[in-house]
Each structure stands twice: as C-alpha cells, then as structure tokens.
Structure 1
Amino acid sequence: MTVTTSTQSERLTDLAGLAGLTPLSETTSGPDPAAVYEALRARWGNVAPVLLEPGVPAWLVLGHRELVTVLRNEGLYSRDARNWGLFADGTVGPGSGVGGILAPRDGIYYVDGARHRHLRRLVDDAFESVDEHRLAATVEYWCGLALDRVLAAGEADLVADYARAVPLLVMSTMFGLDPEQARAMLGHARKVFQAKGAAGVESLNAQRALISDLIADRRAAPSDDLTSAILRHPSAPTDLDAQSAVSATLILGSEFEVGWITQALRLRLTDPRFDGRSGGRLSAPDTLEAVLGSTPPAPNAAPRFALADTTLGDRAIAAGDAVVPGILGASAESRGTGDDIWLESGNLSYLTWGAGPHACPARRPATLIAQITVEAALRRLGGVALTVPPEALRSAGTLFSSAPRELPVRFEVPRPARPARPVRPER
C-alpha cells in the first residue's frame, strides 16, 4: 500500500474529516496492535493522523528518528496542554472524554521549563534516597502475601490477584499511603486513563484530595517515605509542589508498572521461549526486557503539542497540533543504526523510558519492583497453566497503556507454603 497523501501539504485539520481514520485506541486494545501500527505506516508513512476520540485528531509518530526528535525537543514540542489548539479553542474541554486525562494540570509530566525542572529535582532527589535493599525486602513481603492467597485458592487471575496488587501495595509503602488509600488511588487512576469524561474528572479530583491529605499528614508527622523526602527537600517545596511531584509519579508509576509485570507473566505463560518447562532459558530480566521491545505497557506516550509550524517525517505539523509518540510503532520501524547517540543504537526498548526532559525518573526502582515480582511468581507457582487458550486473552487498553485484561490460571502441582514470612518492612 502506498502513502495516501502527498508530503508536506495536508494539515491535520484537512485530514480530520476523512472517513476511516484509525482511532488511537486500536493500537492498545485491538487483537493485533502491531498490525495496526504497520497498516498506519503503510498508508501514511512515519507520521500518521489518528483520532484520540471522534472529532479529535492527532499525529501519531511511528518513526524512530522522528520519535526521538519529539521527545528531545521541549522547545518545539511541549507537554503542556495549554498549547493544544483544540483545547484552546474549546473543541476539547476538561470534562470531555479525552480532556479529562490531557487537560492542563500542575504535575511533573504536564509542565515544561523551569516549573518542570523544579518538580523533577524533587522527584529525582527523592528516588536517589531510596534504599534498594529495603525496597527489595518490601517487594518480597507483598509478593509473599499475595502468592500465599493465590496458592491457597488453587486458581487465580494473575492480573487482579497478583500483578495489579503487588505494585500497588509496594508503592503505597514507598509513598506512605495505607493499602486502602492505595487501592482507591489505583481505582481513580484507571478511570482517568480510560478517558470517560465526567467520571474521569471526578476521579481526578478524588486523587487530588487523597494526595492533599497525604501531604498534610506528612507535614504534621514526617515519616521515612518518599512523600516526606520530597517535603524535606532543600528547596523548601510548597504543599502544591509536593502534591504535583507525588501525584503524577504515584499514579502513572503504578499504572505502567502493573502493565509491565502483567505482560511479562503473559509471555511466561504463552511463549515457549520464556517458559522453562518447555525448554525456554530466558530469565525474568530477559522477559521484562522483551516486553519493553515487543508489548510495552505504554505503547504510546502522552502527547506533545507543537509550539510552532514545523515539519516532521515529511508531514506539515501546525502550531497547536497534538503529536503522540508511538513507542511501539517506532521500535518496530528501525533498529537505530547510525552514529547519533540519541537514537539509542541497538535495543530500542529503552525508548519505553522516554528521552529528553520527560524521561522516566523511576527507572531503577521500577525495574527492581518488576523483576522481583515476576521472579517470585515463577519461583512459587509450580505447575501453573492458563485455563483459556492464549489466543483468547484480550487486552485492556487505554489510549496510552495496554495489558492483558486477565490471566486466568490453575495450579497443577501447588508448591508447599513458605516456611516463614518475612517481617513487614517498616516505612
């Protein structure tokens, strides 16, 4: 199939009314997302028009070189939705479907420039203080509790009963939330990510209230957690600073950590290359790395908004256009050969962590959490098998995240219970 339109001519507003534009959700929740990316590339080239929702077009970046250009260049591609033309003219409002997740807000992933650098320092310095041995013990503790319950039942949904539970509980410990607060936080985050209009806005407000209460509690009674570490920062952050730093990190981190673990467990259950029972020899770290390159938890990154007219991948980008980094599509497009060190020559899965000012600040702890969680499941779930054919598994996708909806399993040869449970790590 040839490229449909001529280069550097049609603008996004010209293409928005075309019949048959692909909804972005098909790249995360369809039965074969990789085929969707390839069909888009075949039709449009490395920068393709898609629909965030009916009547809301955006550019999807499918080329590796183009993707790195967008991620690196904060001066041309802003993360602040106040620069989005469709938001500025009222086409998209904060109460609309996609508006609930993309509307401007004060958070580390949603602002640029000096404000972003300030919030980023708070988060970077807090994560720098993380004791990885203590974090590992915390993860092992919550994995043990979750797996005890799973094994006692003899069957489980590894998404709901394990992969979604452990990161939630670990991050609640890291930030100082109790488990019930953490469960509420994750529920709110799912509704925001699903972009369901008023329900998303309501959940966003509930998130803010919960984190505001957490900040107030730690102001009054500091503890040994990341929230308190942020409040103790030498820059003397305000309550709004701390709330902005905590909220996006906690909410986005838990959502994508769950997806990463879930996709890794899916590979171990469905792909012989990763299944030791079938002769596979790839380790848990190998599996997690393979997920980032083939089925990343964030197939698309949050949109950037063009600050000026420009050209990207032979497409005319107008000031105010939304530009979505297609992480999975760009990884499939190229293996980054060349001399430009910014192109991450070799393994493109690293683009999952982003590049430039908005690259993920929690790569080390996120990797540690995922690795221990997957390894614990593999170590204790002897004789585990899916209760449905692999092809029956379906994705639960939002515009930017993707993971199996469920992983129903039974245990043919349950392992005996662990002889001793570790003491719960202190916060």
Structure 2
Amino acid sequence: MLTTVRRPRDVRLESLTGLMPLYAATLDPENAYAALRAEWGSVAAVELSDGVPAWLALDWTDALRVVRERNNFTREVRYWRAFQNGQVKPGTGLHAFFSDRDNAYYSDGADHTRRRAVVDDAFAQVDESALRRDVKRVCDLMLTHIAKDGATTADLVPTYTQFVPSLAVAAMYGLGAEDAGVMGQYARDIFSNTAAAGPAFVGLNTMLEDLIRKRTSHPGHDVLSTMVRWRDPRTGTGLTDKELLDTAQMIQSAGHEMSVAWVTMALVYLLSDNDFDGRVRGGRLGIDEALDAVLVHSSPVWNTPARFATADIEIGSVFNDSNVDIGGRFVHEGEAIVAAAAEATASVHRGADPVWTGTSRASLAFGASGPHHCPAQRISRIIVKASVEAVLHRLPGLRLTVPADQLGTGLSLWARSASSLPVSFDPVTGYDENWTSTEASRR
C-alpha cells in the first residue's frame, strides 16, 4: 500500500517544484497514477515538460468537466499564465504546440463556432465511399510491398501504421504519396514535444501555404478546396488567410497523430489478446466493435491537450491523512489542466459490472459531446477500419514476435502508441505490385 504525504487542497502551481513529469505516467501508468492519486487525490500536479507545471484530472467526472465546461476551462492560450509570463520558453516543444493559432482547436465562443463550421462543412462533403476505396488501395499496395519476395517478418510501425493515415489525409488534400510522407513526418515532430516541433510547424505551414495558393487559383474537389470556397451564410465572408492556414494545419497534424495511434493500438490489442483476436477473425466480433473496445480498454489518447482555467475553480476530491474526502482541489485562474483521457476512461470501468464493461463505448479518445468534440471521428474510423481490415486479410497467420509489453511507447504526451510492432506471417503468394482491392474481392 502506498504511503505518502497528502497535499493540501489549495496550492498554486507556480509554487511547486520536483513534480512527476507527465511523460512518466506513459511509461508506467499503473504505478504512476496510483502514486499521484495517493499524494494529490483525483486532480494531481505534474510537470508538462521543461519545468512547466499543470494539473491532471484523473477521474472520469473531473475529466468530463475539463473538456466540456467552456465557461470554466478554455483552449485559448492567452489565458495561460505560464505561457504569458515566459515560463513556457520559445524554442521548446511545449511553446510550439501551444502557440496561439486562429483555428477551432485553440478558440472558444463566436470565433470557435465560425471556424468549426468550416471544418464540419468540409468533412460533410467528403465522399466516404471514395475515401474508403482510396485507403484500401493504399493499404493493399503497402502490404504487397511488405510481403514481397517471400518476406515473412516486418515491423508494422515504420512500414505501415505511420504512413497509412498520412497518405489518407494527404489524399483528402489532393496530394500524392511523396507529399504525404513529408506531411506525416511533420505531424510526428509536432506531437513529439521536442525542439523538433517548432521547425516542423514552420515546414508544414510553408507547405500548406503553397498548397492553399494553388487551391485558391485552381480549386478542386478536395477538403482544402472546400475550405477555400467556404463562406459564412450570415456575412458572406470566408476565413482569413491565417485562419485558413491554421485550420489546414490543425486537420493535418491532429488527424494524422490520432489515426496512427488508433491503427497501431488496434493491431496491438488484436495480436496480444488471443480470445479477442479469435472473436474478430471468427466473425463473432466485427471490426467496428473491436475498434470501440480499443478506445475503451487501450485508448490511443493518453491525455487531451491542456485547457486553462478562466476563474478559480474547485474540482475533484482531496483526501486527508485519515483517507477522508475533505473537498475539491482548487485550480486557480490562468493555470493549465489536462484531462488524463486514458486513465479517466479506465477509472470509470475499473470495478464495474463486466456485463457493461464488455460492451461499453464510454471513452474520452475523441473528447466528449460539446463544441470541442472531435469533428473527424467518422473520417478517422473509416481510415482506421480499412487499415486494420487490410492487415488481417493480406497477412495470413499474423502474430507478434515479442511480448506486447516489449513494444515500447511512442514519444508523445498526447497520443498513446507503440513504438514498434514486430510481426511474422505466413508467406504470401499470388500477389504483385499491381494487386488491387478489386482483384482481392474476386479471390
């Protein structure tokens, strides 16, 4: 049993030092979250990175408050005291990730409503059948390359899961494979929380600025062209140049990172749980149900990026040395708070009725209902489902070559993914580089 000093209810983040780094929880979640709960209660102080502190909401109810209550918790960086006073230093991954941007992700109120409308309209016009076909075609070609010349082993992270989502997102922007690879690397660097994030933002924005100019003069039927053409029905005005750039960047980087993690974790879950894998392959559990189970039991999102308190807020539960709940934690105006999506999802299922947990879809991987709920959930599911189905169909006898606990962890505070996925499979014959999903359906 853990024994530790219990922290008082009312402390200010700027007065705290020696905090547990948030990244430590991704390396050893069971012990890290237990230690944080013992010391702080359900809302704990952690170090985001580079000595910058934040609160971490560990329970489902508290995490829901953080992601839903716009009047108390905002995404607008101008409210973050540590950013405005220079504690979040330029040149760091944290500064690059949270720099103020004119898109729906980093805004609230009327600005958010208008900017979100552009994204919703653009996604609504995506031809989902065509997207599904495009993703299947890309997957088939990549898997054909993986299994060519009688190969029976591969690491599916660098050869497959890192690239399929970027190819799909790039296709929605009307780009090819080469540009998709560049954009995918930018997205990985942006979410790495390292010094590579700043140059990656610059590189991605330069690339998108050029693409926006092309779509403005020669619009097509892609997502970016839809955003260029969009006009507010009330005012007849479109997005400013900066809003358009920041929105295009948001869709590309966030969509890529989440989809990579979901594809990877779905395959990890399938290949490391024989009963689960057998039910999927035997047809007793569909791919959609499998993907929902991954969101609940092996969330591809560790944490949702920080919100910032707009006033002094009381949230969560604090326990005294006698283990008595003495009230909520005080989060002060201007302090950052992060919803621990994976731990909060786990907490609501921990000790619950197995009949419910076996079919539960309660997850914070895409946020929660409300204005900031992820607009790409349906698009992301199409990409991930096609990617997972292709692997199961194209690589017979697929199995991990190392235990699941030796797969490593991707370098991100936000996305939860394995850093490698070494597998073996039976030899694949009868396919070549021109193999297509249409031909596969005839076999």
Using the size of structure 2 for normalisation, the TM-score is 0.87
Shift of 1:335: 4.4
Distance (whole Å) between structure 2 residues aligned to residue 62 and residue 224 of structure 1? 43
Structure 1 position 200 matched with structure 2 position 201: no
Map of 2:421 onto structure 1: 407
Question: Pick from 183, 186, 194: which aligns with 2:184?
Answer: 186
Question: Pick from 388, 394, 409: which aligns with 2:408?
Answer: 394
Map of 1:270 onto structure 2: 272
Assess, with a 3 A threshold, how the Cα gap between structure 1 residues 8 and 173 changes in structure 2: closer, same or farther. Answer: same
Distance (whole Å) between structure 2 residues aligned to residue 143 and residue 187 of structure 1? 19
Map of 1:169 onto structure 2: 167
Map of 1:89 onto structure 2: 85
Assess, with a 3 A threshold, how the Cα gap between structure 1 residues 295 and 156 changes in structure 2: closer, same or farther. Answer: same
Assess, with a 3 A threshold, how the Cα gap between structure 1 residues 320 and 257 changes in structure 2: closer, same or farther. Answer: same
Distance (whole Å) between structure 2 residues aligned to residue 298 and residue 207 of structure 1? 23
Distance (whole Å) between structure 2 residues aligned to residue 124 and residue 136 of structure 1? 19
Quick check: 2:54–2:335 contact (8 Å CA) kept in 1? Answer: yes
Note the 1:264-413 alignment, pairs <5 A. Answer: 264-276=266-278, 281-313=284-316, 314-335=328-349, 347=360, 349-355=362-368, 356-413=370-427
Q: Deviations over 1:231-254 (max 9, x none)?
A: 121323333232222110111101
Quick check: 1:120–1:245 contact (8 Å CA) kept in 2? Answer: no
Secondary structure of the 1:49 match is: strand
Distance (whole Å) between structure 2 residues aligned to residue 154 and residue 146 of structure 1? 14
Map of 1:155 onto structure 2: 153
Structure 1 position 213 matched with structure 2 position 214: no
Q: Deviations over 1:188-239 (max 9, x none)?
A: 1222211223x32111111111111111010111111000111121323333
Quick check: 1:143–1:373 contact (8 Å CA) kept in 2? Answer: yes
Question: Pick from 43, 48, 57: which aligns with 2:44?
Answer: 48
Which letter does structure 1 place at the counterpart of 2:392?
L
Map of 2:225 onto structure 1: 228
Secondary structure of the 2:304 match is: coil
Q: Matched residues, percent identical?
A: 37
Which letter does structure 2 place at the counterpart of 1:116?
H
Which letter does structure 2 place at the counterpart of 1:186?
G
- Structure 2: 5+ residue stretches without partners: 233-237, 317-327, 352-358, 439-443
Question: Pick from 74, 81, 86: which aligns with 1:78?
Answer: 74
Shift of 1:331: 1.1
Which letter does structure 2 place at the counterpart of 1:238?
T
Map of 1:141 onto structure 2: 137
Map of 2:319 onto structure 1: none
Which letter does structure 1 place at the counterpart of 2:390?
A
Shift of 1:293: 1.2
Assess, with a 3 A threshold, how the Cα gap between structure 1 residues 413 and 154 changes in structure 2: closer, same or farther. Answer: closer
Map of 2:10 onto structure 1: 9
Note the 1:229-244 alignment, pairs <5 A. Answer: 229-235=226-232, 236-244=238-246
Secondary structure of the 1:350 match is: coil
- Structure 1: 5+ residue stretches without partners: 338-345
Shift of 1:286: 2.7
Quick check: 1:383–1:414 contact (8 Å CA) kept in 2? Answer: no
Secondary structure of the 1:93 match is: coil
Aligned residues: 409
Q: CA RMSD in A?
A: 2.3
Shift of 1:276: 2.4
Moved more, 187-196 or 223-232: 187-196
